[in-house]
Structure 1
Amino acid sequence: MATDTRSRILDATAELYRRQGMAATGLKQIAAAANAPFGSIYHHFPGGKEQISEEVIHAEGVRYGLLVAGQLAAVTDIVEGIPDIFASAAARLVELDYTEACSIETIALEVASTNERLRLATEVVFTGWIDGLTQWFADTGLPNDECRSLAMCCLTSLEGAFVLCRSLRSTEPMIAAGLAVQSRTRAALHASGGRPAVRTTSAIRRE
């Protein structure tokens, strides 16, 4: 847990956004959760909730990116490893009793048509994740456009599964999504002439 007030405010905001979304979270609630005086909110964030939200988006983007990058880097066989990545996300949902998921997705749904500054912040995060996944799939030897398509498929499946899992309080959507992405990847490799899906490098971008 961060000890300085500014970091505590960001950490508390991120947790509240993961649990209940941005719109339902007020500044007084953030201050209370951060164990900080209300006045410290505007002292550290003169732009108020919008500034806090923008910084949370970028910080959460880095945090989730590092978490997933570590999981991707541990995979040696991409096709066989995909369901494990989704299963790990499912296990995390169960561990948290379905109360938390991807805060970037939650915020993006709220601001896509209402706040261009925050929409752009979520765009930056999602673009970084897509680029990282594209790089990961590139180790299969597939063309870049196919790797990007697989990256899009993987990320949209994961984010969509988060929504359904929380609504249904079941990991079934996440497991099904993992198997669907695995099938899509296997089909792409078969169509390319059966290139091996074993990763040739251990590097994965972690920005």
Structure 2
Amino acid sequence: MKSTAFQQTITLVKKDILLELRQKYALYGVLLYIISTVFVINLMIGKPEEKTWNALFWVVQLFVSVNAIAKSFLQESRGRLLYFYSLVHPRNFIIAKLIYNILLMAIMSVITLVCCILFMGNPIVNFPYFVGVIMLGGLSLSLLFTMLAAIAAQANQNAALMAIMGFPIILPLLTMLSNIARSSFNIVFQPGLPKMFLMLGAMDILIVGLSLILFPFLWKD
């Protein structure tokens, strides 16, 4: 049974990857959004100071995650979801979506970082630490918006609903990520940093748990 569940999950991940490669316009649209947004920021404020650079990076990450992850469920038609419902367990389906969106956000996070460095300069002192933080942040954002996209997909494919539901949750998450990443711009020890990492990890575990529990009930509708 475990091997079957594993095979179903891997097959669904491969399906999403192949679908993304075939529909390249969606991926190119997100890439264009990243480049154009960072370029416009550069035209407006040039190369900002450290705090502003850090804040702008996470704002760009927020909108990139919304644009990249929303389509993971919203591109699935009712008929296709019904077809998957007859073939795979809903938990395997949501796990596959989580894995795929984690991989997608990891790639998008690296692209966003490269664009920010090219257009807004590089004020980062501890570069490996910052890369680790953006990977962790991409993980948290992908988990959160995957769950919200799954809920929005059941509400007549309403993408606006995902943004509305996510707004109260995303504010403390972005604040936490911004505070954690602040240590990348100076060598001074930041008090409370381990506690913030634990809170972020606990939030990710909670989101995964809620997704596994709630999604089977959502899919039945």
Q: TM-score range by the shorter chain?
A: 0.3 to 0.5
Higher share of residues assigned helix: 2
TM-score (norm 1): 0.44
Taking structure 2 as the reference length, what is the TM-score of the superposition?
Answer: 0.42
